[in-house]
Amino acid sequence: MASTAARPPLPPRAPIVPPEDLESFQQHLNKSTRILALLGAGLSASSGLPTFRGAGGLWRTHEATQLATPEAFGRDPGLVWQFYSYRRHKALQAKPNPAHYALAELARKKDGFMTLSQNVDGLSPRAGHPASQLKLLHGSLFDVKCSDFFCKYTESANYTDPIVPALEIPTDESDPTTISALEARAELDISDENVALPELRISDLPRCPLCKKGLLRPGVVWFGEMLPTGVINDIEKWMSDSAKIDLIMVIGTSARVYPAAGYVDSARAKGARVAVVNMDRNDAPARGLYNGDWFFEGDAAKIVPEILKSVIGEITEMPDAAVEA
């Protein structure tokens, strides 16, 4: 028979951010009208998506950043497509976490809040972040475009997974534990280098439907490529709309990639105080932190909803603005 004795009370939970930092940050947030956020891969880490550098930064035997170049695509488009096809698949399986929802809610509560995201995973749009307050600096995994310089074909919101049959995650039909291709797809992780990948022929890869000549490529910004002109212009306009910026939150990014990282300095030059949310205390912006800045150490998915609570209230379970089939 179950005991009826009362359980001893649980010890109080340690606060996830130091109360004095939380209080001073929230006082500043509450009165801020012009706010920026610079987002990076750490924001989506607790949604199960790997980051680029440090732990999780390897894909099979390749550095993720080495695959994100036009040269890598030119050399081995099959390998680069396998990398991006895997990332599209993982991003479609992932769900936005409380930090994505909290930032979307902050955008609804404060007109003067603008988010600059380096992420290409589609989780902020799926959390309902207002599009007019979200600038995707590095494009999207779900945009594709022709790799031929002279062809201007682009396509957005392409969620076909895999984008062509040859990029299907391989399943071993001879393995009796493989009950169905669907189940195997969920279990197999092609980032594991022990999973054999099929040899791809160029003719297996997605081809441009317009010029019929060039290969399609992911609509993301690779090293050495320009960020989308419209996005850069919108940000410059937002920056010059007022002489002052009150706050920039730098969330889950190593802040090492330019021009994105440069927005921290631009905001500071307009008076912004800087609040960093990161798992790693060494990953402060390149020019360091100043008096009056904040560093919130830990998982963005837990910290962001906590520090924004004074404006957005409690984040409850929200619907996923689902990707159309």
Phi, psi at 303, each rounded to 5°: -75, -40
What whole-number distance in Å separates Cα of residue 310 and Cα of residue 30?
A: 7
Of the residues 89, 100, 129, 138, only one is catalytic, namely 138
Q: Which of 105, 143, 246, 283 binds ligand BJW (CB under 6 A)?
A: 283
| Shortest separation between residue 254's beta carbon and ligand BJW, angstroms | 3
133 versus 140: smaller Cβ distance to ligand BJW:
140
Contact flag: residue 52 with ligand BJW (CB under 6 A): yes
Tokens of 8: 């001893």
In the bound complex, which residue of the shown chain has the CB atom lying closest to ligand BJW? 42
Which region, judged by CB under 6 A, interacts with ligand BJW, from 142-150, 242-250, 255-263, 312-320? 255-263
Contact flag: residue 22 with ligand BJW (CB under 6 A): no
| Shortest separation between residue 134's beta carbon and ligand BJW, angstroms | 14
Phi-psi region of 195 (alpha: psi -120 to 50; beta: other; left: phi over 0): beta
| 138 noted as active-site residue | yes
Q: Report the run of H or E that residue 62 belongs to, with start and end.
A: strand 62-63
Which region, judged by CB under 6 A, interacts with ligand BJW, from 209-217, 239-247, 254-262, 267-275? 254-262
Contacts of 153 (CB under 8 A, 6+ apart): 145, 146, 208, 209, 210, 211, 214, 216
Q: DSSP letters of 133-189?
A: GEEETTEEEEEEEE-STT---EE-----SSSSGGGSPP--TT-TT---HHHHHHH--
Residue numbers annotated as active site: 138
Residues at the contact surface with ligand BJW, assessed by CB under 6 A: 40-42, 45-46, 51-53, 57, 65, 68, 118, 120, 138, 220-226, 252-254, 256-259, 277-280, 283, 299-300
